[in-house]
Amino acid sequence: MYSLDDTIAAIATSIGQSGIGIVKISGPQAQAIGQKLFRSARGRNNLQPYRLHYGQIIDPTSQVTIDEALIVYMPRPHSYTRQDVIEIQAHGGIVPLRRILELTFSLGARPAEAGEMTLRAFLNGRLDLAQAEAVLDIIEAKTDAALRVATEQLGGSLSAQVAGVRLALLDTLAFLEASIDFVEDEIPLQDVVSPLTEVTSHLEKLLRNADSGMIYRQGVRAAIVGRPNVGKSSLLNALLRGDRAIVTNIPGTTRDTLEETANVGGVPVVLVDTAGIRAIPLDEVERIGVERSEAALARADIALMVVDGSCPLENGDWEIEVLVRGKPALLIINKNDLLVTPDVDLPADFLPSVPRIRISALNNEGIDLLEAAIIDLVMGGKVTLADTPLVSNPRHKALLQRALEHSRAAIIAQQEGLSPDLVSIDVREAVEALGEITGETVTEDLLDTIFGKFCIGK
């Protein structure tokens, strides 16, 4: 089991050059270590709680000054970890921060493991497991929408819903287990199907928008494909609102895949600009680029196929159309700015049933419509219910699905007249699945897996 009796320390800010860097200490010896390292500019080293103190960090052995700093002491339980916590705000250089950290080790602290600060917050009851996972989601959020979903989860929106469902299941389980232990005439009859039906309905509601929630959290990969010189790199630049890819009139400028993340309507979209695909590459370098383009298309969640709308389709367009078929896609008809006369629609059998958007990547014409089409494609036209928190974590979705399956199985078992001990098996499985979301039923291996994804110092 994890120990909470020792004191841990870590650099809590990114390693590099910055104006400020923070060293964080948590545990029983935190205050004593802070007192030994800090020399107040006022000559008093009495660290008053929740107040910033200005002074110097010194080496207690040599009395050499390491850095000018601010220090704050947060006594338990009113701190992030619900332990005594010291935060030292020094200059953000690598050398001073590492020197300060080494001094905390010499005074009795040990290096914190990845995510151990948040793990202690969970073990000490400040956060449940779903809230702890939301901390990482906040750190890694790439869009405002992803941040909003994560902060709602940190605030306990999902946990409250899961706890309510789990409590209803526990009530049902208690009745079933009482029915096993006592004869029927000693306990009053209770309707089991109705509460299980309500539980099932609530779980279905939570799962209804799970895919949308995970898209906000994880984003999607979109491969921009097409034959050479149709404007794929120009489209990438237009979606990124910047000049990320080299654009020239020379066909085949892009010889390798290029990835960048764009914020498209709140969804992180990893745009993969690919080399132009053609059946017979001009040289070995282009052949490798084409192979990578085809591999990128296979890995992508959606395809953005670009064709040149200023000229008729070529054989190369049809060859790529075969590769795109069967994958969620948009057909982007580019170079609208070069049209002199009203354009003629593309053949109906060219990516049939795929939405078509006409744009000019050069002039940013139609880009807003394209972004709306991307959102409609990846979100499936779903609208999030205001009273339902978004499930954004694949682990949570799998556990909710497991709980739902066992709840349904329990209803069927009860309706078929099976004995209470058989019905209770499925109810108990549903309870345990929901407990894994919030942490009531959790293994040490699972905690290692979850908190191992965190950075050291958080």
Check residue 95 and give its pLDDT.
92
Residue 134 pLDDT class (50, 70, 90 cuts): very high
- Whether 113 and 145 share a structural domain: no
Whether residue 1 has pLDDT greater than 90: no
- Quote the CA–CA distance of 411 and 198 in Å, as a whole number: 11
Is 444 domain-assigned? no
Domain-located, residue 33:
yes
User: Are residue 369 and residue 249 in the same domain, yes or no?
Assistant: yes
Residues 230 and 373 in one domain: yes
CATH number where 247 lies:
3.40.50.300
User: For residue 405, is it within any domain?
Assistant: yes
pLDDT for the residue 383: 43
Confidence of residue 187 (pLDDT cuts 50, 70, 90): low
Residues 184 and 234 grouped into a single domain? no
Task: Tell me the CA distances in angstroms from 378 to 82, 144, 215, 220, 350, one per residue in order.
Answer: 41, 17, 8, 8, 21
What Å distances lie between residue 44 and 54, 67, 74, CA to CA?
A: 11, 18, 18
* Residues 298 and 335 placed together within one structural domain of the fold: yes
Q: Which residues of 105-136 are buried (b: 16+ CB within 10 A; e: fewer)?
A: eebbbeebbbbbbbbbbbbbebbbbbbbbbbb
Q: How far apart are CA 247 and CA 254, in angstroms?
A: 8
Clarify whether residues 256 and 240 are in a common domain.
yes
Same structural domain for residues 303 and 418?
Answer: no
CA 26 → CA 3, 20, 99, 106, 256, distances in Å?
A: 12, 20, 18, 15, 47
> Do 138 and 251 belong to one domain?
no
What is the mean predicted confidence (pLDDT) over 427-449? Answer: 91
Residues 188, 226, single domain; the answer is: no
What's the pLDDT band for 277 if we cut at 50, 70, 90? low
pLDDT higher than threshold 80 for residue 163: yes
Residue 366 domain-assigned (yes or no): yes
Q: Is residue 420 part of a domain?
A: yes
Residue 373 lies in a domain: yes
Average pLDDT, the chain: 85
Amino acid identity, position 246: I
Give the model's pLDDT for residue 208: 85
Q: Mean pLDDT, to the nearest integer, of 272-279?
A: 69
In a domain, 234, yes or no: yes
23 or 257, which is more confident: 23
Q: Is the peptide bond before 75 cis (omega within 30 degrees of 0)?
A: no
What pLDDT, on the 0 to 100 scale, is given for residue 253? 45
pLDDT of residue 287: 58
pLDDT at residue 151 tops 60: yes
CA nearest neighbour of 207 among 199, 166, 410, 374: 199
CA distance 87 to 70: 8
- The CATH number of whichever domain residue 186 belongs to comes to 1.20.120.430
How far, in Å, CA of 223 to CA of 303, rounded?
A: 5
CATH number at residue 41: 3.30.1360.120
Q: How confident is the model at residue 244 (pLDDT cuts 50, 70, 90)?
A: low
On the question of pLDDT at 386 being above 50, the answer is: no
361 and 397 part of one domain: no
Cα distances (Å, whole numbers) of residue 65 to 29, 50, 61, 100: 22, 24, 11, 10
Residue 451 lies in a domain: no
Show the domain range for 13. Answer: 8-127
Considering only 34-38, 258-262, 398-402, 428-432, which range has the smallest mean pLDDT?
258-262
Claim to verify: residue 227 and residue 358 sit in the same structural domain: yes
Of 216-220, 312-316, 328-332, give the range with the top mean pLDDT: 328-332
Indicate whether 246 pLDDT > 50: no
- The pLDDT score that the predictor gives to residue 93 is 85
Q: What are phi and psi of 20, to 5 degrees?
A: -135, 140
**Count of structural domains within the chain:** 3
Identify whether the C-beta of residue 36 lies closer than 8 Å to the C-beta of residue 107.
yes
Q: What is the rounded distance in angstroms from the CA atom of residue 114 to the CA atom of residue 364? A: 44
Strand partners, 334: 308
Band (pLDDT 50/70/90 cuts) for residue 133 is very high
Residue 162 is predicted with a pLDDT of 94
Highest mean pLDDT among 155-159, 297-301, 385-389: 155-159
Whether residue 316 is predicted with pLDDT greater than 90 in this model: the reply is: no
Q: Are residues 13 and 61 in the same domain?
A: yes
Do strands 8-11 and 21-26 pair parallel, antiparallel, or not at all (unpaired)? antiparallel
Percentage with pLDDT > 70 across the chain: 87
Percent of the chain with pLDDT over 90: 48
